[in-house]
Structure 1
């Protein structure tokens, strides 16, 4: 654990470190890239897959980020041929469902403190 302070606080050092760790352990770039890009959802050329990982990273702790959700909605609408409002309604319901379990997940994580 190179950046334990980032488990409960802000920081971005874990992103390149996670990517490097996965690559060093033989994880393919197509999979390990998510460790390095999950907070870079505003970067040029970001893929739908990267946006979904970014969204998951936020919503599992019940953080809703409207700009990120709008980007995901746009990509999903384009891919599915549905209207953006239809996509958002379905996505919103699912994000609410996932976010509802955040308190339990965060409490569980906090019950295993990590010290540097």
Structure 2
């Protein structure tokens, strides 16, 4: 079994959506990238489950959030150095890659927006993918969390939403060490076959 295949299928994290998993195989993605995408996807699943339970009336494109979490860093296939050092070249490159592969804009956009969630025109779904991309490793970003609170506050007071979201993210962040160990089990570069 190849290292990439193991990174896509080994327990304990949930598998990615089938189309995202297949795309990573076709691109012969670095195994660490596949593991990272599964870690962020896992955090997104937790956030979406919480939204369904606590805020079921809030419209959210669950499919888009999960696909976005599963592919947001796909551009790192083209910029593999950004797997181990800072950089943002993968964002626009990933967006173009997904569009070239026939992925609709509503799903491809997350490759471009996950690092620029403060820009005008970003959606609630963009904020949720960005949130999952931070909290999977226990990074908390107050400004981003406030975007989510503001979107959810309405019939429920903002302070209550903040407390609920804080409890959720504390729980998601509590599993960060396990996700980091999972991700770091896999090499940043594809191994020769």
Confirm or deny a common fold (TM above 0.5). yes
- Measure, in 1, the Cα distance between the counterparts of 2:136 and 2:117: 16
Change (3 A) 1:106 1:8: farther
For structure 1, the 5+ residue unaligned runs are none
- Which structure's relative contact order is higher, taking Cα pairs within 8 Å and 6+ residues apart? 2
The CA deviation at 1:32 is 0.7
Alignment counterpart, residue 161 of structure 2, candidates 61, 80, 87:
87
Alpha-carbon contact 2:110-2:129 (below 8 Å) kept: yes
Cα drift, residue 5 of structure 1:
2.7
Structure 2 residue runs of 5 or longer lacking an equivalent are: 1-76
* Displaced runs of 4 or more, over 4 A: none
How far apart, CA to CA, are the structure 2 residues paired with 1:54 and 1:64? 11
- Whole-Å Cα distance in 1 between the matches of residues 157 and 84 of structure 2? 37
2:100 is the alignment partner of 1:24: yes
1:107 maps to what in 2? 181
Tell me the matched-pair count. 114
